[in-house]
Amino acid sequence: MIKFKADLVFSFVLIILGVLIFTESSTYPEKVALFPKILSVIMILLVSVSLFNNFRNKEITKDIPIKENLRIVYILLVGLILYRLILPFLGYIISTVFLAYYTILFLEYKKKKYAFIVSIIFVLLLFFIFNYLIKTRLPTGIIF
């Protein structure tokens, strides 16, 4: 009997979502459609690699109880709500660095210094993409 793993189902859902994003962005003007198309192709490729690795590895994955999953979802949701509340005051860069750092640490990455560096690089990369490639201003806060 085949036992469906949650990660396999989620991978297929993400691939379908990527295809839908790609096809929907084809209806936009060419300049506007470029960024969603690039992101959807990257998403499909990365999820496909993950899916391939799941099929290749015969390891038994650890099942996490539903209550633990809900606890994780609630804690991350609190982080997103706090992010939304501090965004108008601190602006995009600082708020998003805090959110990325919080999320990385919550997902049990042990090296705090590297998590902080990755958060900063990630946010600056997104800031560069939006400000200089897409030419869209990101929110600035009252304080910064």
9 and 42 inside one domain? yes
Segments in 57-111 forming alpha helices (H) = 66-106
36 and 93 inside one domain? no
81 and 131 inside one domain? yes
- Read off the pLDDT of residues 69-128 as tens digits, 9 standing for 90 and up: 778 888 889 999 999 999 999 989 999 999 999 888 887 778 888 889 999 999 999 888
- Specify the range with the lowest mean pLDDT, choosing from 1-15, 26-40, 94-108, 109-123: 1-15
Domain boundary among 62, 88, 105: 62
50 and 74 inside one domain? no
Per the CB < 8 A criterion, the answer to whether 5 and 55 are in contact is no
9 and 37 inside one domain? yes
pTM of the model: 0.60
133 and 119 inside one domain? yes
Q: Alpha carbon of 81 to those of 2, 27, 61: distances in Å? A: 39, 33, 31
Per the CB < 8 A criterion, the answer to whether 134 and 35 are in contact is yes
Domain boundary among 13, 41, 62: 62
4 and 34 inside one domain? yes
Higher pLDDT, 37 or 72: 37
